[in-house]
Amino acid sequence: MPRHFLTGAELSRDELDALLDRALQMKREPLAATPLSGRAVALIFEKPSTRTRVSFEVGVRELGGQPVVLRSDEMQLSRGEPLRDTALVLSRHVAAIGVRTGEDRIVEELARHSSVPLVNMLTAGHHPCQALADLLTVREACGTLDGVRVAYVGDGNNVARSLAVLGAIAGLEIAIASPPGYSLEGSLELPEGAAGSVTLTEDAREAVRGAQAVYTDVWVSMGDEATADQRRAALSSYRIDDALLDAAAPDAFALHDLPAHPGEEITAEVLYGERQRIWDQAENRRHAQKALLELLVSP
């Protein structure tokens, strides 16, 4: 059975710790390991991407492999070929498959029929590759994840859910502040026995108290455009600015998975200033995903 990575809950705490160690090693020596030598990885994009596409494409090459980027509207999928058949055929050619799509059931169906590892590169419910980079960034900054408090302020979306799932596995203390109607309440399943904790609140200041990292995401995610005005109104006070960082732990830093909308969920002063690790976080996508791919394709 191949090992898939659909929500992040597939990893134990020890595996996640080892993966982050390995990612840091790969960051220091990006060309030292070639576990994908002579092999290809299919990367299917049904939605736009900058970071995910470039970090996977370059990362696969650094691992000695060949990325095969497929836009789903150019595949037979767009003409009705079943997900099952797509998974069966791709499995005959590539060592792993990455998928960015909408509904979670699509990656679940592809994974069911794939005989090679399937990686969720973003769905409506989850963004676990982003969370790996988030954890790597916090670990680089704090030296550990054990008991470190990370606050997330904003929409209770796929990024928040994956941060909660993987952060809890890793031993983080996560606090998520969202307005009524935008909370993860009722839709967050944490792995049994997770070492860390997740608390949900409506109060951004309460969430950031004692937090070493303060994280946010856009008010209007891909697929939410129809409700953009309502979202902007509901989320307008959920913004990272200097005052919110002042209410967190001393030397707290900002995180954002990007793309950002400066002036909405984060101020330009924070986004481009000294109190953030956002650009490191974007770079860490590549290192974390390389360590993940190595783990998944290794016998």
Q: Which residues bind ligand CP (CB under 6 A)?
A: 49-52, 122, 130, 257-258
- Gap between the Cα atoms of 129 and 88, Å rounded: 24
Q: Could you tell me the smallest distance in angstroms from the CB atom of residue 280 to ligand CP? A: 14
Please identify, using beta-carbon distances, which residue of 122 and 249 lies nearer to ligand CP.
122
In the complex, what is the shortest distance from the CB of residue 129 to ligand CP, in angstroms, rounded to a whole number? 8
Neighbours of 78 (CB within 10 A): 11
Residue 44's H or E segment, with its range, is strand 40-45
Which of 88, 222 has the CB closer to ligand CP?
222
Distance of closest approach, residue 266 Cβ to ligand CP, in angstroms: 14
Which of 289, 4, 268, 260 shows the shortest CA–CA distance to 135? 289
Q: How far is the CB of 24 from ligand CP (least distance, A)?
A: 20
CB-based closest residue to ligand CP? 52
Cβ proximity to ligand CP: between 63 and 159 the closer is: 159
CB of 124 to ligand CP, least distance (A): 13
Q: Which helix (H) or strand (E) holds 150?
A: strand 149-153
Nearer to ligand CP, 106 or 247 (CB): 106
Q: Do 165 and 8 touch, CB atoms closer than 8 A?
A: yes
Q: C-alpha 93: how far from its chain's center?
A: 26
Q: Based on CB atoms, which residue is closest to ligand CP, 50 or 236? A: 50
* Three-class DSSP labels, 234-264: HHCCCCECHHHHHCCCCCCEEEECCCCCECC
